[in-house]
Amino acid sequence: MASQNLAAKKRSAVGKGVARKLRAAGEVPAVIYGHSRDSQALSLNTFNLERLLDKHSYRTTVIDLDIEGTQARTLIREIQRHPYNRAILHVDFQELVAGEKVTVRVPLVMVGTPEGVRVGGGILETMMRELTIAVDPADIPNHLDVDVSNLHIGHSIHVSDIKVPAGVEVMDEPNAPVCLCVVPKAAAEPVAGAEGATTASEPEVIRKAKADDDAAEGADGKK
């Protein structure tokens, strides 16, 4: 589990006008909530927040918020961004409670080269890149490995095949496909095209032969 420190300030004023002024001053409006506390409005330094997000995945990183001297272990639950320039508009933090599981999405990392790719010339198609799990905040993994080295062409790996650490509960459907080794589509196309070309050429040969016969019959008639 990764954890990072971030400072925050309390704020009492709320609303769109206040939020615009905060952003203009280099601050990002935020809120923290949790089972053991009421929702509280905060503000964060924009530069410090962006630097943290550039280096760490917020989905799997515990943020130790220093709220004017009071510590709170949190997860970022939502980041609102501007639709065009991607500037951060607002951040939601959830305070964590020791011993209480949280639901997070963890990246999946494909490990190895599939047998179907190495020997059979196939390709690996990935259907899932994250897995939803319930886990104690202290045990949140940075990622989960998926071993694809024994995957043959036509075979797939499902959610139920992924090995997870003890104490981790998988929330996704067990039968959901994660990845599949398939034959490249281009490999089958020339065969179908060749058959089509042969079929299309046959009527032309027949028509030409018939035209030659008619010409020969006409010549015989003149004689």
Q: d(Cα 98, Cα 71) in Å, to the nearest integer?
A: 14
- Residues 81-137 pLDDT 10s: 999 999 999 999 999 988 889 999 999 999 999 999 999 899 999 999 999 999 998
Cα dihedral 139, 143, 147, 153, rounded to 10, equals 140
Task: State both tokens at 20.
Answer: 């615009």
Q: Is the CB of residue 176 less than 8 Å from the CB of residue 130?
A: no
Q: What is the pLDDT of residue 184?
A: 84
Query: What kind and span of H or E run contains 169?
Result: strand 169-170
- d(C-alpha 125, C-alpha 181), whole Å: 6
pLDDT of residue 151: 96
Q: What CATH topology corresponds to 2-97?
A: Ribosomal Protein L25; Chain P (2.40.240)
Averaged confidence pLDDT in the chain = 85
SS3 call for 198: helix
- Bigger pLDDT: 108 or 190? 108
Predicted local confidence at residue 186, as pLDDT:
66
And the tokens for 117? 């790719």
pLDDT average, residue stretch 158-163: 96
What top-level class would CATH report for the domain 103-186?
A: mainly beta
Share above pLDDT 70 across residues of the chain, in percent, rounded to a whole number: 83
CB proximity list for 101: less than 8 A, separation 6 or greater: 134, 135, 136, 169
